[in-house]
Structure 1
Amino acid sequence: MGSVKTKRMPRAVRERQMLDAAVKTFGQRGYMAASMDEIAELAGVSKPLVYLYLNSKEDLFTACIRREAAALTEAVRSGVRPGLGADRQLWAGARAFFTHTAQNPDGWAILHLQARTHGEPFAAEVAAMREEIVAFVTQLIVVAAREAHRDPDLPEREVAGLAEALVGAAESLAAWANTTPGVSARQAAATLMNFAWAGLGNLMEGRPWSAPDADQVLSFDDRA
């Protein structure tokens, strides 16, 4: 491959150019298959310049994870409008989440697939992002639940598991929506709300589902 001619530009612009190319390459080719040569070529720079700016393939991949994680987290936070009812806030957050992942499929592939399967340092970066989103969703639910129950002391642990389940469902739905033709961000968000809000709505109204007593549960052998 011939040398790539580059023109002078601000460092921040050049780094963004390299990261854009890296996200596309890692997202579509996978971490192991992606090469620094193709990333440099796609960015329109020399490979030594990529190493000069971003040190190594590992550091470049970490920078991609951090940028995409920050962008997704900000999209979800910005999508929620304070003062709305709990269902409207969750709906807005879900739409923001699915819109962002649909518009940035390579970034989502890095976060949801690549980073989690190529070593603990990468997985830890994604775990930190996920914890932030779960904490945000937990607060949305617990504030609404406290208002609904008129109980300002309702502990977060009462809804923390629901937030975990909701975020997990959103992640799986985003992966499905991005690989299923014709599924829009709005449809994915509606699917999540239909799946989740029946239970959350009952919680807000003081009617949570309760497990039956142990003596009421029959084993499969008992039913035969």
Structure 2
Amino acid sequence: MLDAAVRVFGERGYRAASMDEIAELAGVSKPLVYLYLNSKEELFTACIRRESAALIAAVRDGVRTDAAADRQLWEGLTAFFTHTAEHPDGWAVLHSQARSGGDPFVAEVGVMRDEIVAFVTALIAAAAREAHGDPELAEREVTGLAQALVGAAEALAGWANSDRSVSAGEAAATMMNFAWSGLGNLMDGRRWSAR
């Protein structure tokens, strides 16, 4: 039932999706949908939570925390873009449909985003401490970098999913060139390489 709901919500949006359409696609009766989830709002919230958990797990599982910092970023970005490409309806639910559906849905996505930002913040802080030997990095700066990185990755996934010719590896490499190499190096022709 959730698979059908994610597909319909992802393709049509929260407001345009109908419970009849979801029930038909799931191969169940509409009363059965309401038996499990009392309303369209509860069903959409369940979809957001499921897709959020899957995305978070994909990113966490994709990163080897014992790898070098650039490798961790590469692995995390590759896992993120692979997941969003393989689950375009789930990404649409999280990235565009939930944000346009109203406050309760925006808050649900915010919980997922906060968890990903916290994970990225911890990785950046650990990498910076290792690189500079400074245990007292400015937490605000590290959190800001994580926010910027996550926001840029979200925007790039939106673009990549709207242009199916962009592979997950290409999207991850674009982010690496932007985030790791930096715009200055990129403009000078120096790019990050997966080695």
Partner SS, residue 138 of structure 2:
coil
User: CA offset at residue 157 of structure 1?
Assistant: 1.8
Identify the residue that residue 63 of structure 2 maps to in structure 1. 80
Supply the distance in 2 between the matched residues of 1:128 and 1:65 (Cα, whole angstroms): 10
User: CA offset at residue 168 of structure 1?
Assistant: 0.5
User: CA offset at residue 158 of structure 1?
Assistant: 2.6
Query: Is 1:58 aligned to 2:3, yes or no?
Result: no
Amino acid paired to 2:155: S
Identify the residue that residue 22 of structure 1 maps to in structure 2. 5
User: CA offset at residue 181 of structure 1?
Assistant: 3.1
User: CA offset at residue 85 of structure 1?
Assistant: 0.9
Amino acid paired to 2:99: R
Q: TM-score, normalised by structure 1?
A: 0.80
**1:116 paired residue among 95, 99, 103:** 99
Supply the distance in 2 between the matched residues of 1:181 and 1:67 (Cα, whole angstroms): 24
Supply the distance in 1 between the matched residues of 2:180 and 2:172 (Cα, whole angstroms): 11
Q: Structure 1 unaligned segments of length 5 or more: list them.
A: 1-17, 203-224
- CA-atom RMSD, angstroms? 1.3
Greater relative CO, 1 or 2 (CA 8 Å, sep 6+): 2
Larger radius of gyration between Structure 1 and Structure 2: 1
Amino acid paired to 1:22: A
Amino acid paired to 2:168: A
Amino acid paired to 2:21: E
Aligned length: 184
Amino acid paired to 1:176: W
User: CA offset at residue 199 of structure 1?
Assistant: 4.0
Amino acid paired to 1:37: D
Q: Structure 2 unaligned segments of length 5 or more: list them.
A: 186-195
| Alignment deviations for residues 110-145 of structure 1 (CA, whole Å, 9 cap, x no partner) | 000011111110000001100100110011011010
